[in-house]
């Protein structure tokens, strides 16, 4: 009886939703992720090439795997697998496909302008695996859990989009802790916020979180690989405009977001 009450209290706390619960969840995840990532520190001591497959595995694959497992455990604890991975409670308009097209187009262009002969063995598969894990973890946290918590509190969808994108951008402020300079970090925050809006729109227009997971999964590898191993030619220059286009698309389309999902309290009253 006591265990059932504790479980009900835990789930009931999160069922009420709200922006501050979303921030608490993201902050706790960030602290746990960063703390548990230190466990892989000894594995990094023997890595001399930061762009090697081993470096990608140690610095990205292993820590993000831990993060993904933490998120799965949390979803299981509150019984939200259907809410996170099932059909969206609100669908989007046709113009939202612009966000999907912009991200997908430049991901394809970047992959097409990588000098694969210049990469070491195993680097490309390692980045593809890392991208899939990063896409899963970051989308499940921000477009999944954060969005769900905001909707449960009855926020309008424009607020849901902005807050979830801001949380997503805020997670990347942690790069300051790894020694990244302030100015590049600020630029990255602007890009990740706009990218977060694009991923929200992708989820709305397709009705599933799977699409933003896959879009995100191809974004990071294409950016890192094309930056480190660019092929020669005009097409590579066009591919390099991807971040600017995503920023413009995300910020412009944000203005047109409409809609609202009934809060948990409203749904209970109707029932």
The pLDDT mean for the chain works out to: 92
The pLDDT tens digits of the residues spanning 88-107 come to 999 999 999 999 999 999 99
Contact between 47 and 117 (Cβ < 8 Å):
no
Helix (H, G, I), strand (E, B) or coil at 61: helix
Percent of the chain with pLDDT strictly greater than 70: 96
pTM higher than the cut 0.85: yes
CA-based nearest residue to 147, from 167, 129, 126: 167
Mean pLDDT calculated for residue range 120-126: 94
Please say whether the beta carbons of 182 and 42 come within 8 A. Answer: no
pLDDT in tens, 31-55: 999 888 888 888 878 787 888 999 9
Q: What is the pLDDT of residue 2?
A: 47
What Rg, from alpha-carbon coordinates, does the chain have?
Answer: 19
More confident residue, 110 or 38: 110
Contact between residue 224 and residue 50 where contact means Cβ atoms under 8 Å apart: no
């Amino acid at each position: 009886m006591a265990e059932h009450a504790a479980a009900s209290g835990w789930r009931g706390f999160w069922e009420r939703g709200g922006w501050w619960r979303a921030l608490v969840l993201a902050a706790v995840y960030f602290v746990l992720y960063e703390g548990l990532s230190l466990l892989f520190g000894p594995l990094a001591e023997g890595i001399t090439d930061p762009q090697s497959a081993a470096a990608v595995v140690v610095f990205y694959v292993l820590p993000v795997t831990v993060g993904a497992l933490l998120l799965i455990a949390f979803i299981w604890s509150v019984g939200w697998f259907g809410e996170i991975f099932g059909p969206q409670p609100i669908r989007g308009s046709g113009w939202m496909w612009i966000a999907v097209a912009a991200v997908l187009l430049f991901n394809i262009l970047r992959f097409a302008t990588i000098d694969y002969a210049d990469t070491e063995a195993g680097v490309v598969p390692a980045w593809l695996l890392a991208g899939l894990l990063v896409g899963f973890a970051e989308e499940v946290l921000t477009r999944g859990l954060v969005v769900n918590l905001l909707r449960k509190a009855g926020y309008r969808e424009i607020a849901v989009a902005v807050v979830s994108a801001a949380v997503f951008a805020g997670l990347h402020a942690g790069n300051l802790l790894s020694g990244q300079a302030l100015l590049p970090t600020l630029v990255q925050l602007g890009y990740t916020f706009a990218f977060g809006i694009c991923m929200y729109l992708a989820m709305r227009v397709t009705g599933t979180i799977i699409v933003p997971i896959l879009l995100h999964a191809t974004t990071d590898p294409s950016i890192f690989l094309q930056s480190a191993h660019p092929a020669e030619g005009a097409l590579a220059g066009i591919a390099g405009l991807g971040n600017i286009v995503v920023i413009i698309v995300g910020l412009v389309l944000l203005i047109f977001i409409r809609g609202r999902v009934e809060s948990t309290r409203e749904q209970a009253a109707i029932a």
